[in-house]
Amino acid sequence: MRIVCVGGGPAALYFAISAKRRDAGHEITVLEKDPRGATYGWGVVCHDALLDRLYRNDRESARAIRARSHLWQEQEVHLRDEEVGYLPGYGFSVPRAGLLEVLANRATDLGVDVRYESPVPETALADGTFDTGELAADLVVVADGARSRLRDHVADDYGTRLRTGRNPYIWLGTRKVFSCFTFAFEETHAGWVWCYGYPTSAGVSTFIVECSPETFAGLGLDTLPHEDGIEMLQKIFAHTLDVQALISSSRGRPSPWLRFLEVRNETWRHANTVLLGDAVHTTHYTMGQGTRFAMMDAVMLAQALQEQPSLSAALGTFDRKGREALRTAQAAARTGSAWFENVDRYLDRDAVEFAYALSYRSGMQPPWRYQWHIATQITPVRKGRRLVHTGRRWWRARKRGEQPFVPRGLLHAG
């Protein structure tokens, strides 16, 4: 089958890997408009559940991804520089650029034609066919992001619905290395500003800053020159950053202020095209699930192509199962997004109670869970819980057969 993937992100590259692993006869081309190595953003979060799936699907790329990942343990919620609430959990973060490098190398090794600086004109997609003269495809995988041009070219056919979030946010980096996932909420003369910090790579952490539009304007961030705005954020979060500087550009591209774009589609397919990753759905970044869902989309589509007797049947299966799998997650993401857009309602509480509200913002909880939350603020209880999580993490790593050796070709670009 001739397959063209539009977009060189995790969804397209991991689909190409997954499809080639199942049928080496597929002729797959990945078209990415940006140069190799150019990417916006810092670290992406993954958990053991995703690593388990990646190891089962393609061990080689999974080992390389795990080798680049950095562990964070527990979550801390800082309020006004003086109060701290603790939350459980652990996870891994991977530099986005490193993740894309691993996936591109693996796809190329499997025979995928990955082309950079290859933009696709909107007119290439018409009446369900794809033809730029040189390329024609039996299947077109549209994975060019939340603001997909090719999806929007026939948005009515997908039933595309877009909603822009209220709060502005900016995705930055810092030399401050966090050992845990850190939330910090600071009060300014114009209102509250908060951040999410977690380790990304050796010596660098991801640092996302968010605030309400009223605070954004009140601080002058809507009119200040970019570097002056970054300097203001450094002063606001000086305590959290341990006076380390913020890094405002990734791979030479200055980080812009954004508003989260929620993407939903009534159907994920149209003729011989199918949407994948952020082009078909987004979940709020505070869930840390965007990359996971994109890569699981990729596996699901590759599996459907292998199991179903025709392309039409495969796309129908993927469309139905994909929408079913995402329904609950997107509902929870909308609830969580709304919580942060109204966070002022909860900031009159102490850090422990506020941390509980933040942690369980997406659903109802039994009363005993709050009592357990109170108990785990006690240091010996928290250490015991962390020991249990460490044992669980070790056991899952052992079950999937993690080993320290990683093929050099996957760690470094050729």
DSSP assignment string, 225-292: -HHHHHHHHHHHTHHHHTTPPEE-EETTEEPPEEEEEEEEES-SEETTEEE-GGGT----GGG--HHH
Give the per-residue pLDDT at 246: 94
DSSP SS3 for 339: helix
**Whether pLDDT at 212 is above 90:** yes
pLDDT at res. 410:
53
Ranges 128-142, 148-162, 226-240, most confident: 226-240
pLDDT grade for 129, boundaries at 50, 70 and 90: low
Closest to 268 (Cα-Cα) out of 401, 158, 154, 136: 158
pLDDT of 413: 43
Asked if pLDDT for residue 408 goes beyond 80, the answer is no
Tell me if residue 10 falls in helix, strand or coil. Answer: helix
Pairing between β-strand 129-130 and β-strand 249-250 as defined by DSSP bridges: unpaired
| Lowest mean pLDDT across 219-233, 236-250, 391-405 | 391-405
Arithmetic mean of pLDDT over the chain:
90
- Packing angle between helix 59-68 and helix 48-57, nearest 10 degrees? 150
> Can you tell me the distance from the alpha carbon of 57 to that of 49, in angstroms, rounded to the nearest whole number?
13
Give me the mean pLDDT over the 284-308 stretch.
92
The answer to whether 42 and 168 have CB atoms below 8 angstroms apart is: no
